[in-house]
Structure 1
Amino acid sequence: MIFRFYLAVFLLLAALACQPALAQKTKQVRLKSKLLSDSTRQLAPKAEVAVDFPNLNKIPYYYDKKKLAQIRKLERRKNWQKTLPLLEAYVTNFGIENFYKDTPMLWRLGQLYERNGQLDKAKAFYKLVLKHHRTDVKKVQLYYDSLEQKEKDYYVPLDYYYKLVEYRKHVAKFLPPKGVNVNMGSEINSKAEDYGPAVRSSEDQLIFTSKRTFRGLNAVPNEDLYYSKMVDGEWEEAKSFGKPINSIWNEGSACLSRDGKTLYFARCECPDCHGNCDLYVAHLLADGTWGKIKNLGPEVNSPGWDSQPTLSKNEDTLYFASDRLGGFGLSDIYFTHKLKNGKWAPAKNLGPVVNTRENEVSPFFHPLYQVLYFSSRGQLLNFGDFDIYKTYRVNGRWQEPRNIGPLVNGKGSEYYFSIDAESTNLYYAKAEPKDPKNLDLYSFPLPMEAHPLAVTHIEGILTDSVSNQPLTGIISIIDLDNGVEVASKYIRPDGTFDFDLIDNNRYTMLIQSPDFFTVEKTFDLATDTVFKIMTTMIDYKLPLIFKNIEFDEGKATIKKDMEPILDRIVLFLADHPTFRLKIGGHTDSSGDPDLNMELSQKRADSIKKYLITKGKMPEERVEAFGYGSTEPLKDEVTDEDMKINRRVEFKLLKPEAENQEQMKGWD
């Protein structure tokens, strides 16, 4: 990809004087925000197509020979107008088995929607095909990508993101991130596997699962439940729940009721288990011990594996993971609700939007909002093996799951996501790619992508207003009110970008690019906004000239009023580590030529020293030369001519090989 290069000089326009050959242009960042009221905060980030399959938990497979024949007859005749409603009605009756046995029907319905201009419905069904297919679907992927390209997220890789942070933090006014991927340390984690965290809504008690003990002569790892209490802002050393919760069998993946008196957990390979693992309930007794342990029974548990329970905010619905027969994939998310008599209803599958042909595990229901988090390896955007997603429940339907971003999800596997009621901190288990079996617990401030209230959608486009061509770059958002992290994204090839943010907060938007200097813009997410950013197009063969960098007569000392200008030069070099800078100091022709040469060199050296000191960069990145009066811009007829010749020039030097390497991530 061939790039045209610009320098965007934001807030420097008054300080910048350019040669007449440099044309001035305007770029616009148009930012539209769709605001949601408090009563609608539980909505998904974007309005989505409702896809209902009422037969899912009633029949395993739907088949109507007569209706199928009618649909195929119309398809052969290419009578798409009559085919669409019939195929739509047939697919609506699908049971779970239809999704992998009759996937081509989902594909054909999506095509008909696209042909009919119903693009949102087309995308919804293409997504279902990609989640549930068991054959090659490259063609479907191409169709889906063609519709999705204007909404696809291009997240900046985490390692590169932190390089940007490192370059900026010495010169930018924003504090560096609070940190992600923070291991909870030896008070919680052991040398064995530690996972399955759940924190009470008051965030004063953490429970989790660990394999740190062994049983039998063969020292088989034993899964037990542990807990830790927070005292003075620190988690105490973890302790075992002890008997009767922990037994000679395996216990784990627990959740507590809000009052801390009811514990739901999984027990495996036990005599009264219906399958490999079952869900149990225990109650806190008056003497402070746990008792009344009871299997939730065959209406909830299956002959397979049932584990990882989580309660809804009203504590009347229990979500869990199961690999029972009759599901969509290897393991699915199921739910059961409490009946009036206090018993649990027969468990039901959560459906094909959340569940895929792969694994969905470790659900977590937010304690205040209709948001479900879970781990999956079958969704459409995945950074590693298992990633964590969130899905919103709107009008009784689960919305398309959204990856919570690279600040949480990495190249390894992430499971067992949990957050406190205030949505301040997250807790989850993570395995590094180099040691995928050794899970540890991590906790750190909740990034924006994972926040349940990040439902206000903003979108923008960055283009050159003269050529109308899209510009490349990285968009970063900083939450000024809460310091919440927002993962950076590349601008899409068409110049667009979008984010889901919390409304009524103040943010700063940073645009970093090989096309221009970093742009910073603060905005209040309460109204539609249009940003206009002035830029100056230059040829890298031409110098960037600052005529108002003026030294005191006969001196080479940096003055205070020069620093804002020089700081932005530092910022550009920090944002673009492959660039080097050449500084040229020039004088007018008055005075002794040799003294002018010496003075211009001292002034260039002073600027160089300031830049490399402030930016903490290698000295070889900046070259300084004094030219005295040997390279005038104008014949000196007037005092104004002499003033023009008294100048400092900055020329960017960019090795071609390094340029190509840096650009790889921007294509």
Structure 2
Amino acid sequence: MNFRFPIILCTFLLVLLGNPATAQKTKQVRLNNKLLTDSTRQIAPKAEVAIDFPNVNKIPYYYDKKKLKAIRKYEKRKNWQKTLPLLEAYVGNFGIENFYKDTQLMWRLAQLYERKNQLDKAKAYYQLVLKHHRTDIRKVQLYYDSLEQKEKDYYVPLDYYYKLVEYRKNVTKFLPPKGVNVNMGYEINSKAEDYGPAVISENNQLIFTSKRTFRGLNAVPNEDLYFTKMVDGAWEEAQSFGKPINSIWNEGSACLSKDGKTLYFARCECPDCRGNCDLYIAHLLEDGTWGKIKNLGPEINSKAWDSQPTLSKNEDTLYFASDRLGGFGLSDIWFTHKLKNGKWAPAQNAGPVINTRENEVSPYFHPLYQVLYFSSRGQLLNFGDFDIYKTYRVGNRWQEPRNLGPLVNGKGSEYYFSIDGESKNLYYAKADPKEPKNLDLYSFPLPMEAHPLAVTHIEGVLTDSVSNKPLTGIISIIDLDNGVEVASKYIRPDGTFDFDLIDNTRYTMLIQSPDFFSVEKTFDLATDTVFKVMTTMIDHSLPLIFKNIEFDGGKWDIKKDMEPILDRIVLYLVDHPTFRLKIGGHTDSSGDPDLNLELSQQRADAIKRYLAKKGKFSEDRIDSFGYGSTEPLKDELTDEDMKINRRVEFKLVKPEGEQNQEQLQGWD
């Protein structure tokens, strides 16, 4: 039986979800995206469950014996209808200590939400339990995973991602990705630790911390502040801030106001420090020197470690990291805001969505948008030890932090994230896994996952056009307008995928798998969008026949209208370098049989040469055979029968024991 592969390899349907509930949700997300605040668009990803804990910065621990007794009474009777509102109200009154002392109450609340099919709320509370537990929570993890599996991201490992790019870069119009993990070089980095970058776009300045100098007879490393300016697109050699900012004590982790006249920084182990490290303020004087250095005082500084300040976009809120007592974990993100009299209010905790039982450090507030970046080792998705996350502020609440993905976060530790005002480049400190104690500064173009405007949601499903069953593969999104990278993902086992992208932008979607020819679709993104992508699986036991590969009579020249199909075969072969190809040329029975045999061989050889040259791989991977008219598909009773017999057959040969790349890499 002949398998005839269709001329149009893939069918694409671009549709918005049609049911009223989904359409309403999509509309609401778009409205959220268009809110204006202080002449700057307030942005947010798709709507999330809003959870508020008003007591977090008011009382350390909430306890009401009478209400707990009522909750237990209704639970014992399995009266979930009355249990749920009581438990919901009780958990809503939690202080900070409740999150680790009464974690089981959140766990029970999550289960009740799941029982009532309020899955978004259940998921939100499972997340809180996983972040704040201090006991064995394997059962909670199973419940959470069962809800999360349809939204979980299966990122392609970075080394394999680059192999994919390398395979296809010579045969497609897409350029290789811009470099990631790019060290800023000797003008900035030293042989000692360099970290804590903060970029100030208004004056093209970057400030950072370094331990490149030493003090005392024992040559103890001294933390000092340094700065560099960008001139003609390149950073100048770093210079020390000098005295009085830098002293015999340790200074670092600074941020600068937009006008460049106010500096906030940490100073450690000094005579007027309340704790190990305190936050200070300094002002630029009229003569160009720094002075008026002042400790920010007991409202902000504690008897513990307080460091790593960052200003909100309106410069009325100061965020910082502290390991003071009374927080959620080892170190937390805290904040203070300016009062009407110009003084700073008492510091408050940023809450249980951002902070976990582990360490949260190095906050950075985007200069234009309500987006906070920070480093953590306690969030739910980690590629290494410490990873960088972003969280959006919507109303008065922070949304669930999002990992910036493998183009930023590696197997080591990443800290001190910073972005320029145009959101084009990122700057951060990274520890080499081979030398975890030495930090260097890195900078490279901002990947999509880190971009503050990547809030427009696309989702879709990939299915076989014949069986309608889900297919697996690797999906890549290429930003054609800006060259912004989007980390490639494996399609989920149920065939679904999703990405958060920037609206009003042109993209290409590329889906690759050993099971089908690569799917390529270019689209303009204007709003939250749902794709249904259908393609036909390749049966490796049967030949592929393409109707538009027809040679002129008696000739074997490759025609222009053949190239799109042949280029797809090239791309498939370079994406799957272990596969081989067999080409069979066939003619109808008219004419001299010996000449037909020779002509069919020349046509098969011409295709072989084209494929090998275009893909830049050895011709040894391709076998070409001419069969003339010896293997007809049909008896030639009509011209149409003769046309069917005039064909070129392609047989993709899968190596024995070859597995899909998804299986090789695993779904962990």
Q: Alpha-carbon deviation of 1:636?
A: 3.4
| Residues in 1 aligned to 2:179 and 2:55: alpha-carbon distance in whole angstroms | 46
Q: Alpha-carbon deviation of 1:145?
A: 1.0
| Residues in 2 aligned to 1:494 and 1:532: alpha-carbon distance in whole angstroms | 13
| Residues in 1 aligned to 2:389 and 2:240: alpha-carbon distance in whole angstroms | 30
Distance 1:637 1:113, change over 3 A: closer
Q: Deviations over 1:610-660 (max 9, x none)?
A: 111111123332222222332222233444433332221100000132235
Q: Would the aligned equivalents of 1:100 and 1:134 in 2 still touch at CA under 8 Å?
A: yes
More displaced 10-residue stretch of structure 1: 188-197 or 624-633: 624-633
| Residues in 2 aligned to 1:82 and 1:491: alpha-carbon distance in whole angstroms | 41
Match of 2:634 in 1: 634
| Residues in 2 aligned to 1:532 and 1:138: alpha-carbon distance in whole angstroms | 36
Match of 1:235 in 2: 235
More displaced 10-residue stretch of structure 1: 635-644 or 337-346: 635-644
Which among 34, 39, 50 is matched to residue 38 of structure 1?
34
Q: Would the aligned equivalents of 1:35 and 1:503 in 2 still touch at CA under 8 Å?
A: no
Match of 1:162 in 2: 162
Q: Would the aligned equivalents of 2:461 and 2:533 in 1 still touch at CA under 8 Å?
A: no
| Residues in 2 aligned to 1:434 and 1:622: alpha-carbon distance in whole angstroms | 42
Distance 1:663 1:220, change over 3 A: same
Match of 2:379 in 1: 379
Match of 1:447 in 2: 447
Residue 38 of structure 1 aligns with an amino acid whose one-letter code is K
More displaced 10-residue stretch of structure 1: 35-44 or 380-389: 35-44
More displaced 10-residue stretch of structure 1: 595-604 or 88-97: 595-604
Corresponding residue SS for 2:202: coil
More displaced 10-residue stretch of structure 1: 131-140 or 532-541: 532-541
| Residues in 2 aligned to 1:534 and 1:329: alpha-carbon distance in whole angstroms | 47
Q: Alpha-carbon deviation of 1:394?
A: 0.9
Alignment RMSD (CA, Å): 2.2
Mark the runs of 5 or more structure 1 residues left unpaired by the alignment: 1-5, 17-24
Q: Would the aligned equivalents of 1:472 and 1:666 in 2 still touch at CA under 8 Å?
A: no
Corresponding residue SS for 1:437: strand
Residue 97 of structure 1 aligns with an amino acid whose one-letter code is E
More displaced 10-residue stretch of structure 1: 560-569 or 426-435: 560-569
Residue 106 of structure 1 aligns with an amino acid whose one-letter code is M
Q: Deviations over 1:64-94 (max 9, x none)?
A: 2222222222222222222222222221121
Q: Would the aligned equivalents of 2:464 and 2:534 in 1 still touch at CA under 8 Å?
A: no
Q: Alpha-carbon deviation of 1:532?
A: 6.3
Match of 1:135 in 2: 135
Q: Alpha-carbon deviation of 1:555?
A: 3.7
Q: Deviations over 1:398-437 (max 9, x none)?
A: 1111111111111111110000111111111111211111
Identity %: 84
Q: Alpha-carbon deviation of 1:8?
A: 8.4
Q: Alpha-carbon deviation of 1:549?
A: 2.5
Q: Alpha-carbon deviation of 1:568?
A: 1.4
Q: Alpha-carbon deviation of 1:565?
A: 2.1
More displaced 10-residue stretch of structure 1: 343-352 or 454-463: 454-463
Residue 356 of structure 1 aligns with an amino acid whose one-letter code is T
Residue 511 of structure 2 aligns with an amino acid whose one-letter code is I
Q: Would the aligned equivalents of 2:490 and 2:662 in 1 still touch at CA under 8 Å?
A: no
Q: Alpha-carbon deviation of 1:593?
A: 3.6
Distance 1:28 1:88, change over 3 A: same
If the length of structure 1 is used for normalisation, what is the TM-score? 0.93
Q: Alpha-carbon deviation of 1:26?
A: 5.9
Q: Alpha-carbon deviation of 1:371?
A: 0.7
Q: Would the aligned equivalents of 1:8 and 1:535 in 2 still touch at CA under 8 Å?
A: no
Q: Alpha-carbon deviation of 1:46?
A: 1.9
Q: Would the aligned equivalents of 2:466 and 2:536 in 1 still touch at CA under 8 Å?
A: no
- Is 1:144 the equivalent of 2:144? yes
Match of 1:248 in 2: 248
Q: Deviations over 1:207-244 (max 9, x none)?
A: 01111112222222111111110000000011111111
Q: Would the aligned equivalents of 1:28 and 1:463 in 2 still touch at CA under 8 Å?
A: no
Residue 307 of structure 1 aligns with an amino acid whose one-letter code is S
Q: Alpha-carbon deviation of 1:288?
A: 0.8
Match of 1:116 in 2: 116
Q: Would the aligned equivalents of 1:190 and 1:212 in 2 still touch at CA under 8 Å?
A: yes
Match of 1:21 in 2: none
Q: Alpha-carbon deviation of 1:135?
A: 0.5
Match of 1:19 in 2: none
| Residues in 2 aligned to 1:286 and 1:644: alpha-carbon distance in whole angstroms | 87
Match of 1:273 in 2: 273
If the length of structure 2 is used for normalisation, what is the TM-score? 0.93
Distance 1:462 1:61, change over 3 A: same
| Residues in 1 aligned to 2:426 and 2:287: alpha-carbon distance in whole angstroms | 32
Q: Would the aligned equivalents of 1:8 and 1:517 in 2 still touch at CA under 8 Å?
A: no
Distance 1:314 1:7, change over 3 A: farther
| Residues in 2 aligned to 1:345 and 1:533: alpha-carbon distance in whole angstroms | 54
Distance 1:619 1:662, change over 3 A: farther
| Residues in 1 aligned to 2:211 and 2:638: alpha-carbon distance in whole angstroms | 85
Matches within 5 A, 1:360-509: 360-464=360-464, 466-509=466-509
| Residues in 1 aligned to 2:471 and 2:613: alpha-carbon distance in whole angstroms | 32
Distance 1:122 1:207, change over 3 A: same
Mark the runs of 5 or more structure 2 residues left unpaired by the alignment: 18-25
Match of 1:600 in 2: 600
| Residues in 2 aligned to 1:66 and 1:335: alpha-carbon distance in whole angstroms | 34
Q: Would the aligned equivalents of 2:548 and 2:561 in 1 still touch at CA under 8 Å?
A: no
Tell me which of the two structures has the higher relative contact order, counting C-alpha pairs closer than 8 angstroms and 6 or more residues apart: 1
| Residues in 2 aligned to 1:124 and 1:441: alpha-carbon distance in whole angstroms | 35
* Equivalent residues, number: 650
Q: Would the aligned equivalents of 2:473 and 2:662 in 1 still touch at CA under 8 Å?
A: no
Q: Alpha-carbon deviation of 1:341?
A: 2.4
Distance 1:62 1:206, change over 3 A: same
Corresponding residue SS for 1:57: coil
Match of 1:20 in 2: none
Residue 267 of structure 2 aligns with an amino acid whose one-letter code is R
Match of 2:308 in 1: 308
Q: Would the aligned equivalents of 2:457 and 2:528 in 1 still touch at CA under 8 Å?
A: no
Distance 1:293 1:608, change over 3 A: same
| Residues in 2 aligned to 1:555 and 1:524: alpha-carbon distance in whole angstroms | 41
- Is 1:204 the equivalent of 2:200? no
| Residues in 2 aligned to 1:642 and 1:137: alpha-carbon distance in whole angstroms | 69
| Residues in 1 aligned to 2:585 and 2:301: alpha-carbon distance in whole angstroms | 79
| Residues in 2 aligned to 1:395 and 1:629: alpha-carbon distance in whole angstroms | 74
Q: Deviations over 1:536-560 (max 9, x none)?
A: 4553211111344233444433333
Distance 1:528 1:288, change over 3 A: closer
Q: Deviations over 1:306-334 (max 9, x none)?
A: 11000011111100000111111110000
Corresponding residue SS for 1:557: coil
Match of 2:619 in 1: 619
Q: Would the aligned equivalents of 2:460 and 2:533 in 1 still touch at CA under 8 Å?
A: no
Corresponding residue SS for 1:436: strand
Corresponding residue SS for 1:281: strand
Match of 2:106 in 1: 106
| Residues in 1 aligned to 2:566 and 2:304: alpha-carbon distance in whole angstroms | 66
More displaced 10-residue stretch of structure 1: 105-114 or 61-70: 61-70
Q: Would the aligned equivalents of 2:4 and 2:545 in 1 still touch at CA under 8 Å?
A: no
Q: Would the aligned equivalents of 1:28 and 1:462 in 2 still touch at CA under 8 Å?
A: no
| Residues in 1 aligned to 2:14 and 2:142: alpha-carbon distance in whole angstroms | 30
Match of 1:62 in 2: 62
Q: Would the aligned equivalents of 1:367 and 1:421 in 2 still touch at CA under 8 Å?
A: yes
Q: Would the aligned equivalents of 1:31 and 1:461 in 2 still touch at CA under 8 Å?
A: no
Q: Would the aligned equivalents of 1:490 and 1:666 in 2 still touch at CA under 8 Å?
A: no
